[in-house]
Amino acid sequence: MPQSLKQMQKDCTDARAAIQRARDHHYAIGAFNLDNQETLIAVTKAAAAKNAPVMVEISHGEVEMLGLNNVRDMVNNYKAEFNVEMYINLDHSPSVEAAKAGIDAGFEFIHIDISQANHDATEDEIIASTKQVVEYAKKTGALVESEPHYFGGGSNRFTKAFDYEEIKKTFSTPEGAQHFVQATGIDTFAAAIGNLHGSYPVPKRLDLRLLESIRQAIDCNISLHGGSGTPGHYFEDAVKIGVSKININSDMRIAYRNTLEKVLKENKTEFAVIKLMDEVIDAVQEVVESKIDCFNSAGKAKPA
């Protein structure tokens, strides 16, 4: 059911207060990707168990499968049932039109990523499109996130190790971040400091000194994409420096698939798959809870 503009504005006001609390008290709100209802249940149960604020997020593929309004309704239902503080982020929205649709659906956080659809998009093109979304978001007060260039990797498990020296060539710079934030008016800057989408056979390394320089150069929120496969101590340090949003996807998908394959193998005569999902949900929930601990957000949910 579509929300009223008044309700959207209230939700976005609450979201702004939530991200400000994260900055003030040095923790990050986890942004966890949804594939289906089971992953939403896992995130919700983790938020309740840890008393933590969370974001759930969907990218363009999930939007096409699930629908913006359906996700909004499901999140509202589980928020009420479990009494948790939970917001929705539209992740890697590939166009201005898609981002506007997320705003119209009442999503509190909007990530506009023009380079996702066009890896060769120029910074001027990205700035122009981002400014349009920032202006449109004033309708509800949604927080807008963006970055000035394509962010590599993908939401999958990769068998080949990445070349760290090549990844370093795409790192954010304090000067570039400052220019982009001032030119667009975004609420959240997606920093590239060694974080990379996907899971790899080698652990990721975050350049925390670079993160400190970026934090000093800009006033807005900082997010880290590609959090899967990152040793937890990096997150513990990153939130102390000033990161207030961290995205997790592949770690959840790996736990989901591995556990589903296990229970299917153990229950070859059971065709009511719903009866097999409790263990799968528990496995994803365990991943989410472990990230919440690393992000220092346990116990930080807004009192009801």
d(CA 258, CA 98): 32
Q: Where are the alpha helices (DSSP H) in the chain?
A: 5-25, 37-50, 60-66, 68-82, 96-104, 114-117, 123-136, 164-168, 174-184, 208-217, 232-241, 250-266, 277-294
Average pLDDT over residues 128-153: 92
Q: Is 219 a catalytic site residue? A: no
229 confidence band (pLDDT: 50, 70, 90)? confident
Cβ atoms 65, 39 nearer than 8 A: no
Catalytic residue of the set 11, 14, 24, 91: 91
pTM, to two decimals: 0.94
User: Domain extents for the chain?
Assistant: 5-294
Q: CA separation (Å) from 155 to 152, 199, 236, 247?
A: 10, 8, 23, 11
Which tens digit of pLDDT belongs to each residue from 14-25? Answer: 999 999 999 999
pLDDT tens digits, one per residue of 234-284:
999 999 999 999 999 999 999 999 999 999 999 999 999 999 999 999 999
Which fold, 5-294? TIM Barrel (3.20.20)
